[in-house]
Amino acid sequence: MAPGQAGAWAALGPLLWGCALALQGGMLYPRESPSRERKELDGLWSFRADFSDNRRQGFERQWYRRPLRESGPTLDMPVPSSFNDMGQDAQLRDFIGWVWYEREVALPQRWSQDLDTRVVLRIGSAHYYAIVWVNGVHVAEHEGGHLPFEADISKLVKLTAQTAAGPASDFYTLPVGIRTVAVTESQFLINGKPFYFHGVNKHEDADIRGKGFDWSLLMKDFNLLRWLGANSFRTSHYPYAEEVMQLCDRYGIVVIDECPGVGIVLPESYGNVSLQHHLEVMEELVRRDKNHPAVVMWSVANEPASFLKPAGYYFKTVIAHTKTLDPSRPVTFVTNSNYAADLGVPYVDVICVNSYYSWYHDYGHLEVIQLQLATQFESWYRAYQKPVIQSEYGAETIAGFHQDPPLMFSEEYQRSLLERYHSVLDQKRKEYVVGELIWNFADFMTNQTPQRALGNKKGIFTRQRQPKSAAFLLRDRYWKLANETRYHHSVVKSQCLGNSLFPF
């Protein structure tokens, strides 16, 4: 062997020696079996970044020895996710340093009662250096992201509660929020105070996933709602995931809860079979969501052909049935029919109207909006003497398209259209208009038609949740409305869930 080769071998010797020992066994992926149970901890965790100068305040003050919320303000953070991408805060987006996650976990009694049961905490990945405590006791440390590590915590788990007579057979916790809802001829009242809806319509839709529930997407959307200053949304046009409703309770976002009553546009849509199914769907919706304080009104349909002769009896029946199921909340449906021809509106508590002036007709003529919208409001109120919500309005806008003077599909056109709507809304909300819900929160995918450029582009955010010019206009308006009424998201917030994202 040449001298140079010997030197190289000598330098590598310790490394080779350290790697020579065979692993005694691989780490098993947790799979359920007749003898093994698995409890997923994915979901929302309490989160706090350590913004102290040395980034070590959490260790110095031992945040791990008490609930994290007692150390200061916390956020809800989805796991798994990248915390930097969840909010609208540049400080958090650019943060490098220690961050703290906490979650209270209720374990099955048998895990604690059976002395032979081994309980292992497995962290699938935590980037980059992780320290883990259970009940204030240090159980693990790990350096390096992407790979799993685990700790045996059998001796640390304990029952959270038990009855005096012995082990309880069942535990269930139900967050509760107490509030009242009422409607007068010109007002919508929550806890006896006038409430003005300034919010959005949404869809459970996003890039890649399409439709479906996703914690990271949900938290991004709620952070955008906070940024926007929105206090409400309608579940257009179907019930959303139960986790969405739970988060609305937690954050005090007011919800108009809508059933999937869409496409009721033909005479045969009003037959007995459809009616019976509609009644059953309302029973299912009310049964699921009646305990959510955030839900303040039921919507039984969206844009039906309510001018057809059978519509009167049909909606009279559905609305009466819904009121029997839940007498505590008003009931509506969302109409785009003419005020003089609508046969269902006499039975609603609040008139919700969709209109797209200067978009689907008189397109390009922004100057007609104020006259048409004012006439719309005055006609509905004169006919029925009920509060009115502008439940949809908006314009298609392709992000990055600019034209001055404004042309359709440009960001300037969307913004100018909204400004004209707002000028009328500001007049009428002093009288009997009780809300405005933009269509739509974000762009969403649709079927292909010559009128759709890769889906519906009426969002104030893109499908990727980036703001268009109109988002900044609406943000300025909504925060002014919130500060003017001083009636924020907390009006229906569940009092037993005090960790609100909205620090009012």
**Structure-block tokens of residue 351:** 């008139």
Pair (279, 388) in one structural domain: yes
Instruction: Tell me what the mean pLDDT of segment 86-111 comes to.
Output: 92
Average pLDDT for 479-496: 65
Residue-wise pLDDT tens digits, 217-242: 999 999 999 999 999 999 999 999 99
> Does residue 108 carry a pLDDT above 90?
no
**Are residues 488 and 504 in contact, defined by beta-carbon separation less than 8 angstroms?**
yes
Whether 198 maps to a domain, the answer reads yes
Compute the distance between CA of residue 139 and CA of residue 151 in angstroms, rounded to an integer.
Answer: 6
Query: Domain check: are 323 and 398 in the same one?
Result: yes
For 412-440, how does the pLDDT look when each residue is reduced to its tens digit (9 = 90+)? 999 999 999 999 999 999 999 999 999 99
Q: Mark which of 132, 152, 172 sits at the end of a domain.
A: 152
Examine residue 158 and state whether it is found in any structural domain, yes or no. Answer: no
Instruction: Evaluate whether residue 162 is within a structural domain.
Output: no
Inform me whether the pLDDT recorded for 496 exceeds 50. no
Q: Are residues 431 and 346 in the same domain?
A: yes
| pLDDT digit string, tens, across residues 444-455 | 999 998 888 899
Reply yes or no on whether the pLDDT at 287 is more than 90.
yes
- Is pLDDT of 275 > 80? yes
Max CA separation in the chain (angstroms): 103
Dist. CA 294–CA 197, nearest whole Å: 13
Q: Give the pLDDT confidence score for residue 167 in this predicted structure.
A: 59
130: containing domain: 43-152
What is the pLDDT at residue 173?
A: 83
Give pLDDT, residue 27. 86
Note the pLDDT of residue 166. Answer: 56
* Same-domain pairing of 142 and 188: no
**Per-residue pLDDT for 296 more than 70?**
yes
Which pLDDT does position 175 carry in this prediction?
Answer: 84
CATH number, position 95: 2.60.120.260
Q: What's the whole-number average pLDDT of the chain?
A: 90
Task: Name beta bridge partners: 424.
Answer: none
User: CA 234 to CA 299: how far, in whole Å?
Assistant: 9
Query: Percentage of the chain surpassing pLDDT 90?
Result: 78
- Residue 117 falls inside a structural domain: yes
Average pLDDT score over residue span 206-227: 92
- Active-site residue list: 303
pTM of the shown model: 0.87
Q: Can you tell me the mean pLDDT for 243-263?
A: 96
Does pLDDT of 481 surpass 80?
yes
413 and 364 in a single domain? The answer is yes
**What DSSP string runs through 170-226?**
-----------EEE-SS-EEETTEE--EEEEE--SEETTTEES--HHHHHHHHHHHH
pLDDT reported for residue 398: 96
Q: Is 45 helix (H, G, I), strand (E, B) or coil?
A: strand
pLDDT of 487 higher than 60: no
Q: Does residue 278 carry a pLDDT above 80?
A: yes
| Across 286-295, 392-401, 485-494, least confident range | 485-494
Separation of alpha carbons 42 and 320, rounded Å: 41
Tell which of 152, 171, 196 closes a domain: 152
Question: H helices of 336-435, where?
Answer: 369-384, 411-428
Q: What is the CATH number of the domain that holds 222?
A: 3.20.20.80
pLDDT at position 210: 87
Q: Assess whether 239 and 379 both reside in one domain.
A: yes
The answer to whether position 38 is within a domain reads: no
In a domain, 296, yes or no: yes
- pLDDT, greater one: 177 or 100: 100
**pLDDT for the residue 163:** 43
In a domain, 159, yes or no: no
User: Is residue 209's pLDDT more than 90?
Assistant: no
147 and 204, same domain (yes or no): no
Is residue 246 located within the same domain as residue 344?
yes
- Position 195 pLDDT exceeds 60: yes
**Range name among 269-273, 346-350, 486-490 with the lowest pLDDT average:** 486-490
Average pLDDT over residues 350-366: 97
| pLDDT, tens digit (0-9, with 9 covering 90-100), for 303-321 | 999 999 999 999 999 999 9
* Structure-token pair, residue 33: 């079996």
Is the distance from CB of 343 to CB of 309 less than 8 angstroms?
Answer: yes
Q: How far apart are CA 407 and CA 404, in angstroms?
A: 7
Q: Please classify residue 31 by burial: count the beta carbons closer than 10 Å to its beta carbon, then call 0-12 exposed, 13-18 middle and 19+ buried.
A: exposed
pLDDT of the residue at 168: 60
pLDDT value of position 502: 33
Do 343 and 241 fall within a single domain?
A: yes
Predicted confidence (pLDDT) at residue 123 exceeds the cutoff of 90: yes
Q: Which residue has the higher pLDDT, 87 or 463?
A: 463
Residue 244 lies in a domain: yes
The pLDDT of residue 21 is 59
Which region among 18-22, 46-50, 254-258, 464-468 has the lowest average model confidence (pLDDT)? 18-22
Burial 237-259 (b: 16+ CB within 10 A, else e): bbbbeeebbbbbbbbbbbbbbbb
pLDDT band at 110 (very low <50, low <70, confident <90, very high): confident
Pick the residue with more confidence: 58 or 24?
Answer: 58
Q: Which amino acid is located at 24 in the chain?
A: Q
- Pairing mode of beta strands 205-206, 210-211: antiparallel
Q: Are residues 117 and 187 in the same domain?
A: no
Residue that terminates a domain, selected from 102, 137, 152: 152
Q: What is the pLDDT, as a whole number, of residue 160?
A: 46
| Local confidence band at 10 (pLDDT 50, 70, 90 cut-offs) | very low
Residues 142 and 186 in one domain: no
Number of compact structural domains in the chain: 2
Residues 113 and 235 in one domain: no
